[in-house]
Structures are given as C-alpha cells and as structure tokens.
Chain A
C-alpha cells in the first residue's frame, strides 16, 4: 500500500494561525471537560465521600481494567443549558475483565443523579451503542428521578406550549434493556443508591443485579407513597434494601458489602460472560502514522473557508500513513480509499470540496465495494453540500447524490464518522451524518453542522423576504433586513458550532484532533463486537 505524502508546510503562517486557533478551542473544550468532571462540586463530592460513596467517574475508573482505554461519549453534553456540563451522567466504552462494554451511570454528586433531557438522551445513546455493536451493557444505577428544575420558574402555560413530549412516550429505556437481553447481549446493573418508582425497572429488566448493603434502595413506591396508597408504615430497608432484595424478594443476585465490593462483583460477572467478539481482527499492522498527528492541529482553518487536502488528515490517522486511493483521477472532490486504523481495515471517504455527480457516483460505488468485502467505512467530513446550479441539476446532481445517500443508508458495514470541518445540508446525510445511523460520530472543535452556512442562510432569508415584499408591493426595509440578517446569522452561527452540536448529544463527542486515530480505533474495535457483514441489498438505484 502506498505511503501518503504530505505537502503540509508546518512553518507557514496559515498553519501556525490555524494551530493557535485550534489550541484556543481545545482550551475551551478542556475547561468544559474539567467542569464536567467536577460533577456537583467539591462540597457535594465531599458529602458523598463521607458516606463511603464515590463519584461516577471514580466508580467507572475502578471497574475498568487498569491501563485500558475509556472512550467517553458526549462528555460535555448540556453545555449552555440549565443543567451541569456533562449532564451529571457518564457514558462510555471501556474494558471490564477483558470485555469491551458500554458503561454508564448517573453522577450522584450532581443533583443526586436526577434525570434530565440531556442525560436521558445519553442513556438512550448508551443503550443504542450496546445494541448496534453487541456490547455488554453495564449500568451504575443511582437516581433521584426526574429533575424538575428545568421547568421551575417558567410560566406553566408557556411551558405547556413549549413542550413537545409527553409521559406517554417515556419508558423506552426499560424496553431497550430487555431488548438487549433478548438479543443475547448481557445487561448488568450495579445499584449504588436509589432506584425507585420507574427507576426500579432499571435493575428489574437487567440480567444481573448487584446490590450494595445499606445503600441500594429499590422499590416502586417509597415510604411516603406507600403510606398514601395503602396506609402502611414502611421503612426503606425492608421495603427495598439490598439485604431484603438479595435474601427475600430475589430481585438482587449479588450482595456487595460496599461500593468497591459491588464493582468487584461487577467485574466478576463480566468475567464469566464467556464473551466472544463476533467481528474479526484487528488483522493488519497497527503502526503509528509516519506523519505526525500533532500537525492535525494546524490543518483546518477556524472559519473553514480555506480549503485543505483531506489526505493530510488521513496521513495522520491511518496505520503507517498507508493509503490505497480508489479512483484518484475521477470525482476528485471526494477522496476514497483503503487503509487500516489500529489494525482494522477500513474504507475511507473524505471530502475535498463539494459533492458533484462524479464524486457522488464514486462514493456509491466505493460504499458498495466495501460492503462486498465486509470492510467498515470511515467518513471524514468537510462538506459544504452537493453542488447546486442549473447545469449540475440538469446533469443529475440530485439523482446522483441520491445514489450516494442510498448506498450510505443501506450499507451494513459499520460506519464511523468524524466531522473535521463543515458538514452542511445533504452533504451531512450523504457522508453518513448522525441521522444515517453511523455506529459512532465524533467532531473536531472546528466542526460546523447546519442545513447551510450561517451567512448563506441569512442571505437566503433576506432574498426570500425581499421577494415577498416585492410581491406584495411593499417597500423593503433594508436597514431592518440587515439587522434581522445579522441576528439570524449570529444565531445560525451559534447553532452551527461544534460545541452546540456536541452539547445537544447530536454526536458522540468533540475530540482533540490528535486523538482522531485512537478514537476511530476504539470505535472500530467496539463495532467488531458485532459481526461485520456488508450487504448487496440497496434501495433501487435511480439511474
């Protein structure tokens, strides 16, 4: 396989400026991660420790095999929301007793592990990762229930008008836990604290339950509810204590003496699962790239306006910087080719400009080839979209783009997506964006995701409104339009930012560009817990 050459000038002004900008963005990212790691703050953590309890990060770090990697998913969710950065919840992929597992749980230091829309989304995402990749599911349960804070202080009428969801849609979590079990994916609950009301079904639906003496509390209704419902005076221990469940009700399978013991038992349970990954490999040499991944900091410009060669990224991500390019002379705005990451063979699709008919068809062909040979796909986004214009429409850009989207949608090999730069419009879809079911999606701090560029969006709105005014024959207020456009552009810009996307859990996390190779490697290894099998079945090709 050919070695990729690099033409990157690491002494150029552009590189150094890009690098400085990226470092600044990384400072922000690191600060937010540090904030997330602080959980509910020092005082809250001290209170927890005084009761012999640990933070979720401590619990997870002890359950993991020493020195093994842990890929946290959406670590800075809920940034710019009323909730704590990180949403008081940790979900990730880690190794327990030699088995890659999805591990998740509430942080008891953050509002006693209350649910909110962000950590609910993270929990559901954790279940999805377990399901799609056939990974054992380990949940550390401790939750006070719903966090009502988001609603407090708001006009109830306004809240009702704003809300788009309803209790009737809730509870999917319990469905999905038992669905995993049905799929022969083991589910393990370690109950560290309260798991009450609906929450009781978290252990209820699990294959293995580890309860902690004097700590776990699992019941459908707590003492006050029991009193209200039946008049019975119940104490928490006999109503739902660990001892009771492990000796009387049988809801608990293992009784742990304390948190460390619960974690020990969890590791023992995983060690007996007889877990065998159903995917192959890694099967190829996993040597470091020849070109320095450190250079990844200076490739992408902050404003995304300066084009860059995605091969410079590929050269710093793939094993030994080896890359066999497919159709290099055809449809050059999409780079396609084969490589390996941490020993796993991959087909890579990377944008080098807008998608044209040729590059779209090349993508569709390449995706089919990878499905034919069971090779996972890696998508590297820097896409402003499919090319627009009369000439291109007449030459079938929509039709050919549809082929690419058909191929991406129906492809059954694992997809791992990294949004390096722009990811606009249907380009996001064609490059296996979040809605197209890639197994994992990560974004660089430079990433921007939106239906279109903020300036374009503001401009489009302005044109549409100017046309409407003209239709109605009224004067168009240029000044108001300019103001409106500026505001629209500002908010479109804010919403398109990678930080916003990642905090909404619309990806699996923002990553340091230098970690791209490792992130993809961990993601691929996770994917290989499930069989890696391509398909020859696609939607009808629009010819």
Chain B
C-alpha cells in the first residue's frame, strides 16, 4: 500500500454514547488524547459526558435528531477542534456517507475506508463480494415490493429469515417457518427496517435453525497488514441480539479456526480493510457460511481483548494515525477463556421488553475480578430513546468453566437497583449444564429455555425481608427528629408489633417485628419466627444474625422499592404503603403501555372475549415491536387507542373485565 505518513490524533470526538463512548475515551486518554463527547438531551448528565474533557449538546431527543445527524456531529467537530472521530458501534459507525464527510472535513476517521463500509453496508452486495472471494454464503434473495416472496421462499426452503438489508442488531428481522406467515413477517420487517435504518429494503435468506454464530475479529492497517484475532462465539441470543459472547468458541478446532481465519482475512482483503472489523459466520459442524462483515468495533470486542491482550480501540486509533500494526499473525495467541454478558434493563419475564427507568444503585461486584464496561452510574437514567444496555461484564479465566462460574457469581453479586434487568436470566443461562458443556447454538434460549427469573427460596426471601426491616428501621431511627437516641420501637407496655407489608413478585407478605429489651428483634414472617441481632444497619448494608446465622447484605432502596444483594443474589421487593388514600387505589383491568411508543395495530374490539395470552395491541417503541397480550381470560371493555396514536408510558390501551366477574 501507499506510503502513509503518521498523523497523530490530539483531540478525539466520540460520536457515540453510553458504555462504548466511555470505553473509547478511556483508551484515548491513556494515549494522551483529549476527548470530546456529543450528547442528546437525555444524556446531558450521563457518565460518558461528565467524563469527557468537553462535550457538545446535539439539542434533540431521538437518535435521528442527535447521534444520527451527520451535520450536527460535524459541527461539533468543528466547534471543538476535534482532529479525529471514533464512531463506536451503531449510530453512524457504518455510514459511509458520514465517514466520507469526516474525511473530507480533514478529520481523521477511526474506521475502515468509506468504500469498505459501503461495500459491506448492503448485505446482498456483500454476499456477492464474498462469493467472489470464495467465502461460503447462504442462499438469499432481495425482496423488492411486488416480488413474489413466496416463490423465493420456496426456492430457498423454509425456514427462512427476513432481514433488513441495511440492518443489524436484530432489528427488522423475522424468522418464518410457514408460507402463511410470510407476508406479515415481511411487512413487520419492512416497518422496523424503515424506522431503524431509514431503508425498508429487506431480503430473504435460508435460516439455519440450529447453528452457531461465530465471528472472526480482523485487524488491518494502512500498510497492507491484515491479521485475524481469532474468533468469538455469540450464539446466545434473544430477539436476534447477542447477550452472552465468548472467546474462544468452545467448539473450535485448530483446523476450523485456520479455515475461518483465512476466510475472514480473505474477506478483509477483498475490501481493503484497514481497521478493526468483524466477519460473521454461521457454523454447523465443520461447515461455515458468511453472514456479514461489520465494519466497526463490535460490542463484544472485550472478550477478544481479554484472550489476546490487545486493546482493540488502541489498535484502531494507531491504525487511524497511520501506524503499522507492528506484528503478524504468528505473534498472536490465545490465553485462557473470556466470557461477556450484556446486562440490559429489560424484562425477561415479559418477552425481554425494554424496562427503562432510573438506576437507583449501580455498584459492580467486587466478589471476583471482572471488567465492567458500563454506561451508567447510580442515578443514571435509562431512557426509552436508546438501547437499554446497562453494562457489559467480562471475565477472563484460565478455563471456560471457571470463566462461566465467575461471571455468574459476579453478575449475581452486582448491586443494581431501580429497574428490571436480565441479570437473573444471564446468571441462570451461564449455569445451565448446556452452557457449561459448550452446547451453545443460536436456538439456545428457545431450546434450553433457562428460567427467566430464578427460584427464590423462602429462607432467602425471609432473610432479605429481615434485612430490609432491620435496615429501614435503622434509617428511620437515624432520621428521627425527636427521641432519636431511644431504642427502636421502644415500648413500656404490651403493644402490637411493627407491621409492614411487601410485594414480592405477585405475592403479598406481611412482616412484623418488635425489638426486645436485649436488642434482639423478634421478626415474624407469615408463620415463621426469627430472632435477629443487628450488628450493622442503617448504612446501606446490614450485618445481622438470624437465629445465629450471619447474614450480610447490601440493602438499597429507591422510594418504596427495596433490593437486597446478598449471598443468594439480589432480591427485589416493593414495600406497600401503610395508608392508601381513597381514590389512589390502583386501576385494575387496564392494559397499559409499558413505555412510550406508537400503536401499530389493535387486534380486538370492544365486547370481544379474549383468552389469556391473546394478542391485543402491537406497540412500536424503542425501535421494536412489542406485543401487548391479555393477562387474563376476559372481555374487552373498551379500546382506548387507535392505530398510529402516540402513547405515553402507563397510558391505558385497553380495558378488560375478568371473565368471571
């Protein structure tokens, strides 16, 4: 390749948000660069903005008005004097027009050439390019409006996958097993593709129901060097989004690794790749097929960093500055095993629906060494506007089994409070025998079906409730304005005990307690009685003896929500109010919008009898379609919304009367 002069980066603008913005800035700072953040309105106080040396408001709420607005990002570069742009992943990271505009503005683009991006951006043309480079591909066909989709599907053979041509991240993706579902799936995929990528082009492809998603990290420089940094396996996916990724793959052989590595490097060479990129494959046995090239840093890049010792962001920045890699394929090797889990604010019990909210408490576990790439801190908001990922947690251990065990434990003992997360689901997944044995295929979640939430024993629950009442009474005593130094709940006669009610999942639990003379709390939960001696309480952490068993736990609260993180993991409960003002009683029987969004379609009419689980409404929010289903058998009382209507979080969509009432 041509002579490349070194052009050092002094001020790096990160055209992204959240954890990846923080992660990129961390390396940039280490390399002596000043950092510039850009931010949407909702991110004004986000950690990545606070940590940047300077930041520019993009004045807008949605992705479209902010991180996707090329003009605004370029203006931010000009205003701050940034001499390089790192796009992170998502947003404009694979937008060739943006890359071009950056380069034309005389700013260093941290990424592959706009041509390489463009070549890979359209999945169909990418496939053709790969076929030329002799990389195996799956049969596929683009679907133009008016095309005979059924014929194409028949030719390819069911099951088929409908994919957005411009897409990624599972958006605009549908699996179709039967011809009768084809039209609906295509329409849905087009809608999502249009709203996510501004391009409703979709294509149809052979779907491999049981396979592995294995990708190869490639790294090239502008001097013509190109290496691969081995593979990552990302088969554990929900809603076509990866949630657990690892390196190396548990099924990799030296032979297959060499073949896939060669294919990936060939793919990279075919497009003159000069940055960090990823070639994705589906693998079945010793066969593999090219899926796509991601011309950016991947979310899951840390597992590669762990096993190779490379800092991929540093490599990207060096390459962008014009430095050669300075090593060859033979210099790279794998050490140990790394697994990453993606913690999301989402509800695994409700189809993994995003569950935005405020992170009341965020405290990474210190139980064992782990890397936390998080975009949040205590007090951060997870907004409906953006991806609800809280953090990536990565562990690196000598063996895969140890890595899985440690990651599960680290996740379990991390303090997260204030919102619903997939944490328990991740922990359960990591502990399934199938995962531990490496039986990880893309249908893992459907096939193994790890529990969406974990079993909580009554002992664990009772200990958590005890920790809460001990903590809460200590907090109240500490905040008392009068008689502050008197013992808690002091009595000189026989009075009823202190009483408090909690909701745990769908169960209401009453707890009563009374401090005795000796400082022991007699706690009664349902029919169980405990003698509790507090040692530490009122500081967010309790150390208590429950009938002689030491219980240590973090006790976090946000309004009436409590979260106890102890030896058995986290247990969340809601404290019920002592008094409920009349009229404040909860509305019963209304199906409410779980988040702000747009009503796509309603499927029932007033007076219809509905069965539990029946589809009522499709709501589009956070770029995804959410199905609102009937929670009970009943009769539709009223439809409160129409298709196309914007709805607020908590807005009543449909009222249902219980069948037997």
Interface residues, chain A, with chain B CB atoms under 8 Å away: 33-34, 36-37, 57-58, 60-62, 65-72, 75, 92, 95, 98-100, 257, 260-261, 263-264, 267, 277, 282, 286, 342-343, 509, 511-512, 514-515, 518-519, 521-522, 525
Tell me the complex Cα distance, A263–B473, Å: 21
Question: Contact check: which of A66, A257, A267, A515 meets B473 at CB < 8 Å?
Answer: A66
A57 pairs with B490, CB closer than 8 A: no
B486 pairs with A69, CB closer than 8 A: yes
User: Is the C-beta of B4 less than 8 angstroms from some C-beta in chain A?
Assistant: no
A33-B494, A34-B494, A512-B492 are contacts. A98–B482 as well, Cβ < 8 Å? yes
Which stretch, B219-227, B284-292, B578-586, touches the partner chain A?
B578-586
List residues of chain A with CB within 8 A of the CB of B26.
none
List residues of chain B with CB within 8 A of the CB of A98.
480-482
Tell me the complex Cα distance, A512–B490, Å: 13
CB of B586 to closest CB in A, whole Å: 16
B482 pairs with A277, CB closer than 8 A: yes
The chain A residue with its CB closest to the CB of B489 is A67
Sorted nearest first, the 8 A-B pairs with minimum C-beta distance are A37-B494, A69-B490, A264-B579, A286-B485, A75-B493, A72-B493, A67-B473, A61-B496
User: Is the C-beta of B431 less than 8 angstroms from some C-beta in chain A?
Assistant: no
A62 pairs with B490, CB closer than 8 A: no
CB of A99 to closest CB in B, whole Å: 8
List residues of chain A with CB within 8 A of the CB of B517.
512, 514
CB of B554 to closest CB in A, whole Å: 21
List residues of chain A with CB within 8 A of the CB of B486.
68-69, 342, 518, 521-522
User: Is the C-beta of B495 less than 8 angstroms from some C-beta in chain A?
Assistant: yes
List residues of chain B with CB within 8 A of the CB of A343.
485
List residues of chain A with CB within 8 A of the CB of B491.
69-70, 72
Interface size class of B (residues with CB under 8 A): 20 to 34
Tell me the complex Cα distance, A516–B256, Å: 81
A282-B485, A522-B483, A525-B482 are contacts. A257–B496 as well, Cβ < 8 Å? no
A60 pairs with B495, CB closer than 8 A: yes
A69 pairs with B579, CB closer than 8 A: no
A62 pairs with B578, CB closer than 8 A: yes
A515 pairs with B492, CB closer than 8 A: yes
Tell me the complex Cα distance, A67–B493, Å: 15
A33-B493, A67-B476 are contacts. A257–B487 as well, Cβ < 8 Å? no
A to B CB contacts below 8 Å, 16 in the list: A33-B493, A36-B494, A57-B496, A61-B498, A66-B489, A67-B488, A69-B487, A70-B495, A72-B491, A75-B492, A75-B494, A92-B493, A257-B582, A267-B579, A511-B492, A512-B492
List residues of chain B with CB within 8 A of the CB of A277.
482
List residues of chain B with CB within 8 A of the CB of A61.
495-496, 498-499
Tell me the complex Cα distance, A325–B491, Å: 31
List residues of chain A with CB within 8 A of the CB of B493.
33, 36-37, 72, 75, 92, 509
- Chain B 211-241 interface residues, beta-carbon cutoff 8 Å to A: none
Q: What is the predominant secondary structure among interface residues of chain B facing chain A? A: loop
List residues of chain A with CB within 8 A of the CB of B476.
65-68
Tell me the complex Cα distance, A286–B477, Å: 14
B485 pairs with A263, CB closer than 8 A: no
List residues of chain A with CB within 8 A of the CB of B579.
260-261, 263-264, 267
List residues of chain B with CB within 8 A of the CB of A92.
493
- Chain B 460-505 interface residues, beta-carbon cutoff 8 Å to A: 473, 476-477, 480-483, 485-496, 498-500
B496 pairs with A58, CB closer than 8 A: yes
List residues of chain A with CB within 8 A of the CB of B483.
68-69, 95, 100, 342, 521-522, 525
B498 pairs with A66, CB closer than 8 A: yes
CB of A538 to closest CB in B, whole Å: 32
CB of A60 to closest CB in B, whole Å: 7
B490 pairs with A95, CB closer than 8 A: no
The chain A residue with its CB closest to the CB of B480 is A68
The chain B residue with its CB closest to the CB of A524 is B483
A68 pairs with B489, CB closer than 8 A: yes
List residues of chain A with CB within 8 A of the CB of B581.
261, 264
CB of A295 to closest CB in B, whole Å: 14
List residues of chain A with CB within 8 A of the CB of B582.
257, 261
The chain A residue with its CB closest to the CB of B475 is A67
CB of A348 to closest CB in B, whole Å: 18
List residues of chain B with CB within 8 A of the CB of A67.
473, 476-477, 488-489, 498
Tell me the complex Cα distance, A127–B452, Å: 59
List residues of chain B with CB within 8 A of the CB of A521.
483, 485-486
Tell me the complex Cα distance, A100–B481, Å: 10
A264-B579, A264-B581, A525-B483 are contacts. A69–B495 as well, Cβ < 8 Å? no
The chain B residue with its CB closest to the CB of A76 is B493
List residues of chain B with CB within 8 A of the CB of A36.
493-494
List residues of chain B with CB within 8 A of the CB of A511.
492
CB of A230 to closest CB in B, whole Å: 36
List residues of chain A with CB within 8 A of the CB of B481.
98
Tell me the complex Cα distance, A66–B498, Å: 7
The chain A residue with its CB closest to the CB of B500 is A66
B485 pairs with A72, CB closer than 8 A: no
- Chain B 504-540 interface residues, beta-carbon cutoff 8 Å to A: 517
The chain B residue with its CB closest to the CB of A287 is B485
Tell me the complex Cα distance, A98–B493, Å: 21
B482 pairs with A509, CB closer than 8 A: no
